[in-house]
Every structure is written in structure tokens, then in C-alpha cells.
Amino acid sequence: MKRFALLSFVAIAALAQPVAPHPDQNLNGTLWMQTSAEYAALTTQAYRAAGLALSAALADPNWTAAYEQTNDFRGLPPAVILDLDETVLDNSAQQVNLIRNGKAFTEEGFTAWVKEARALAIPGAVQFLHQAQLKGVAPHYISNRICNPADPDDPTAKVLKDLRIPYSPDRLHCKTAGSNKTDRRKAVAQKYRILLLIGDDFNDFTAVPDNVAERAKLQAFYEPMWGTKWFVMPNPIYGSWERSVGFDLGKKFEALRP
Ligand SMILES: [Mg+2]
């Protein structure tokens, strides 16, 4: 009887422990992106809403979506700014490679994937970009990929062209010194009136700190922007949100809200 009680105690103690993490933290997120109808419906929904906002933005010369736009922009030609990875381009196949091989994300691994130039288009993106182009709105891509639009063989330019995505070298703004996109938004704002910002990471809209509480406050502060001038794509796999929590599993468990 004593032994049974001891075993029960051990069993209960085991149940009280945090559930062992899945072998790969990105399995569910990757599967959701690749297999759920809901993921494709969400991105399509966001791009369709962005398309509707585009018409309102074009008609209003006082409209800008960028806080970096501090010049007199009313006479400037219109542009939209989009991030690339997990906004226009679907890199989930690279995640599959990492999951299947038990590997962690590295910059080198990502660069090798970029060179393969086989990312797919996020559902809704190509239609939206064609719609923008037909309305005379220039799509600008601000990406933290290491790319070189001056190189005719650049793999990012190649993948955009292969996917029939409106592209010209002067509209691809790759990672320069750092990953902060503010200066690149500012540079586009000098020459264009920025109608919309589209991205999968808070930093695609404005520079935010890597701190969960601060980001929650800023999210609430920018509430009027979401779905009017700023459109967010879902990304359950990675982003500055994860850096804000911390990559350590213990920190992730701590951050869970009971
Ligand atoms: Mg992205």
C-alpha cells in the first residue's frame, strides 16, 4: 500500500511538472502555415482589406502611413512599403528543413536558403501588388535579407521575378548596417507618399524595443493604425516578439499567462 502511495505521489509530481517541450518548437506553427485553410484565409483577408484601404489612401492627399514622413508629401507619387519574409515571401520550406534535420535557425542557413530562390508567395500578396501597380502605386520592399539589387543574379530579385511580383531594383531596400528599418522608411518617404505599411513584425511599422510590456503599450498606442494604414500578416514561427520573451525555454515557460 505504501509503495502504491509512493508511486501515486511520483505520478502526481510528474504531472505537475511543465509538459516536456515538443522536439521542435516550430512544428505546429510551420504545419499551421502550410496546411491550415485558416492561415491562407487570414493573409488573403489582410491583403484584401489593404486593397480597400489603398483606394481611400490614394484619394486623400493628406494621408500617410509612415511616422517617418515629416516632409510636405502631398505632391509626391504614391508608394506602399512591404516587408518580404513572411509578408510577401513564404519561407516555411526552410523551417521544414530545420525541423526534419533537428537544426536551429542560423543566419548562414538562411542565406543558403535565400540562394535557393524557391520561396513561395504568401496568399493574397501577388493580387494586391498587381492591384497597387495598376493604380500607379509603387511597391517598395524593405527587407532584412542580405541582398543586392544591383546584382542581376541576386536570388531575392530572382524569386520576386519568378513569382511575377512587381519588382524594380530601386524599390528593393536590403539590410544595410543594422536591422532597424526606420532609416530606410525615411529614405522612401523623401521621394514618395507612403500609403500603407505591410509586415509580419512590429518593427516593419515602427522601431520598438525588445520588451513584452513596452510592446503591449505601443501596440495599444498605435491602435488606430491597425487595419487602416498598417496591415499585419500572421507569423507563428519567429519574430521580434520571440526575442522579447527570450529564446531560452525557461523564459518562455515563465512568460506564459496562467
Ligand atoms: Mg518579415
Query: pLDDT band at residue 179, thresholds of 50, 70 and 90?
Result: confident
Cell of 87: 509578408
d(CA 217, CA 219): 5
Give me ligand 1 centre to Cα 234, in Å: 10
- Give the pLDDT of residue 20: 57
Give me ligand 1 centre to Cα 13, in Å: 41
Q: CB neighbours of 232 closer than 8 A, spacing ≥ 6?
A: 46, 198, 199, 200, 226
| pLDDT (tens digit per residue) in 42-98 | 999 999 999 999 999 999 999 999 999 999 999 999 999 999 999 999 999 999 999
The dihedral of CA 49, 55, 58, 60: what is its sign?
A: negative
Give me ligand 1 centre to Cα 78, in Å: 22
The dihedral of CA 151, 206, 119, 191: what is its sign?
A: negative
| pLDDT (tens digit per residue) in 104-138 | 999 999 999 999 999 999 999 999 999 999 999 99
Would you say residue 29 has pLDDT above 90? Answer: yes
- Give the pLDDT of residue 176: 81
Give me ligand 1 centre to Cα 207, in Å: 14
Would you say residue 7 has pLDDT above 90? Answer: no
Percent of the chain predicted with pLDDT > 70:
91
Would you say residue 22 has pLDDT above 70? Answer: no
Would you say residue 3 has pLDDT above 60? Answer: no
Cβ–Cβ < 8 Å for 202, 240: yes
What is the domain partition of the chain in residue ranges? 24-255
Give me ligand 1 centre to Cα 143, in Å: 7
Give me ligand 1 centre to Cα 119, in Å: 13
Alpha helices per DSSP H over the chain: 2-16, 27-35, 37-59, 92-101, 107-116, 125-134, 155-162, 182-191, 212-221, 240-245, 249-255
Give me ligand 1 centre to Cα 33, in Å: 14
Answer CATH for 24-255 from 3.50.50.60, 3.40.50.1000, 3.30.465.10, 3.90.850.10 = 3.40.50.1000
Q: Nearest to residue 198, comparing CAs of 174, 225, 178, 179?
A: 225
- Inter-axis angle of helices 27-35 and 92-101, to 10 degrees? 140
Give me ligand 1 centre to Cα 83, in Å: 6
| pLDDT (tens digit per residue) in 237-254 | 999 999 999 999 999 999
Give me ligand 1 centre to Cα 240, in Å: 10
Give me ligand 1 centre to Cα 232, in Å: 10
Mean pLDDT in residue range 139-151? 95
Give me ligand 1 centre to Cα 90, in Å: 9
Mean pLDDT in residue range 200-229? 98
CA angle 110, 186, 64 (to 5 degrees): 110
pTM for this predicted structure:
0.91
Mean pLDDT in residue range 21-33? 87
Query: pLDDT band at residue 1, thresholds of 50, 70 and 90?
Result: very low
